[in-house]
Amino acid sequence: MINQSPIKINRALISVFDKKGVVELAQSLYNLGVEILSTGGTAKALRDADIPVTDVSEYTKFPEIMDGRIKTINPLIEGGILGLRDKHSYDAKVNNIKWIDLVVCNLYPFSETISSDDCDLALALENVDIGGPTMIRSAAKNVGWVCVAIDPSDYSTITYELESGQISFETRKRLSAKAFGHTAQYDTIIHNYFKNEILSNNLSLTFEKHSEMRYGENPHQTAASYKIPGNNEPNILNATIHQGKKLSYNNIMDADGALACVREFDDTACVIVKHSNPCGVAIGDNLLDVYTRAFNADSLSAFGGIIAFNRKCTKEVAEEICKVFVEIVLAPSFEPEALELFKKKNNLRVLEIGEFGKRLPKLEVRNIDGGLLVQDTDINTLTREHFNTVTKAQPSEQDIETALFTWKVLRHAKSNGILIAKNNTTIGLGAGQVSRVDAVHMALRKGGENVKGGVLASDAFFPFRDSIDAIKNSGIKVVVQPGGSIRDQEVIDACNEYGIAMIFTGTRCFKH
């Protein structure tokens, strides 16, 4: 049976990388008569604060050797932590082992080491802690008799309970679970660094809580966001939030989608997202013009949407945004005058992402019952060299540029997806439809008379000619699609019949 009675702390071992709050904790322990063992930098910090400590090497009568690799791995340390007080007292006595009732330890963030530009395998290996995880796991395992603390935010709980006399089993159990999570995360980061395969036989994932939310997609769902430990890249979770309410689950999903889409472009770009779909996108030279075209592409859907820029948001753009209701504006940076204008709209979230470039390779993970689906992110880039015109009618140079623009946007829309664009501006989007021809009709309806002279892109091949028949009188000049259907020739013939140019990409861009 595990001891579930409260325990008194007579001896503590403190060895931490994160020294926040450790002096205050040690002072409280010392005032309560607790003997303190410590190592290295932690011992120095405590002595500098005039708190008496005993070096681990002094207690074990064994020096730190091998450049500190051998320090706490010693029977006097591990026995003092792991021993069961009701079973192993004799072993402890004859081997001069003193019980260690509290272990305060946290680990150097390995992620910071491997994130440095000069990190190589040798440096990474030198920063793999052995003694620390061993002490933490030993203390967490012996939860009946030992308390472990890896998080400075828990020091006040320990102090409070000790001042009342003893530490409860409920607290020890909670802190043990936290400790096992700490070492699991540490080992996972190391595992992911050392493995060679992107999709290895054992997939290890670890994240740390970023924030809790009022609810998830719906009010009856609980939700929280988690971030990759040590990740400092420009993204939504690392953004500076200048104002507005706390980000919701749906806010983060949509903002992440908007950021992913706007990162497609080198030119000045604006992306407006609603329910994870880009309802308005435009590129050009002038930010105000780009924003105006993106918003007017589907102003109805843009209401309550997410606006993303890949350039500094200016005062004149902020003035226009303040005339409408949107949930979030995000950009690499903001002019001070723009931030002042946004303050008039208290509920508007303003996110400064920092300078960013194109998306980098990463894994996408989705939950399914019983497991996960994992794939690498679609960052495949198409150029005009990938295009193959298969019809009698030929696209112009402008049509080809528009087709490339359209393809960059379309892969951020839900399948089945059809997108119509012209003049580097989206005109109509049909997304998330269960049939391709339905998506065509939706895009046509959204675009109205503006589709004339536009380019229509499909995220997958046309299984029948019905989609081409649907656009025959629309004025659409060019269709771009992957090709690959057994009825490709039937679809090509339909385009030839209506004088529409068709480009095959050879690449699909489904997004489910």
* Catalytic residue (one of 141, 242, 452, 472): 141
Structure tokens at 7: 């325990």
**Element (DSSP H or E) covering residue 328:** strand 328-331
Q: Is 252:275 a contact under the CB 8 Å cutoff? A: no
The percent of the chain in helix, strand and coil, each rounded to the nearest 5, is 35, 20, 45
Give me the amino acid identity at 384: R
Q: Is 386:506 a contact under the CB 8 Å cutoff? A: yes
- Residue 185 to residue 374: CA distance in whole angstroms: 20
Specify whether 19 is catalytic: no
Q: Is 66:46 a contact under the CB 8 Å cutoff? A: no
Structure tokens at 232: 């400092």
- Residue 432 to residue 434: CA distance in whole angstroms: 7
Strand-pairing partners, residue 363, are: 376
| Whether the bond into 416 is cis, omega within 30 of 0 | yes
Give me the amino acid identity at 135: M
C-alpha distances in angstroms, 341 versus 68, 81, 324, 337, 346? 56, 59, 13, 6, 10
Q: Is 427:451 a contact under the CB 8 Å cutoff? A: yes
Beta-carbon count within 10 A of 117 CB: 4
* Catalytic residue (one of 19, 178, 191, 275): 275
Q: Is 138:148 a contact under the CB 8 Å cutoff? A: no
Sign of the four-CA dihedral 474, 477, 483, 488: positive
Please name the residues in contact with 123: beta carbons below 8 A apart, sequence gap of 6 or more: 113
Please name the residues in contact with 213: beta carbons below 8 A apart, sequence gap of 6 or more: 223, 224, 225, 246, 247, 248, 249
- 215 φ/ψ angles, rounded to the nearest 5 degrees: -165, 175
For the chain, how big is the Rg over CA atoms in Å?
30
- Residue 165 to residue 5: CA distance in whole angstroms: 12
Q: Is 241:329 a contact under the CB 8 Å cutoff? A: no
Please name the residues in contact with 383: beta carbons below 8 A apart, sequence gap of 6 or more: 404
- Residue 238 to residue 464: CA distance in whole angstroms: 45
Structure tokens at 250: 């749906």
Give me the amino acid identity at 390: V
Specify whether 141 is catalytic: yes
Strand-pairing partners, residue 458, are: 418
Catalytic residue annotation: 141, 275
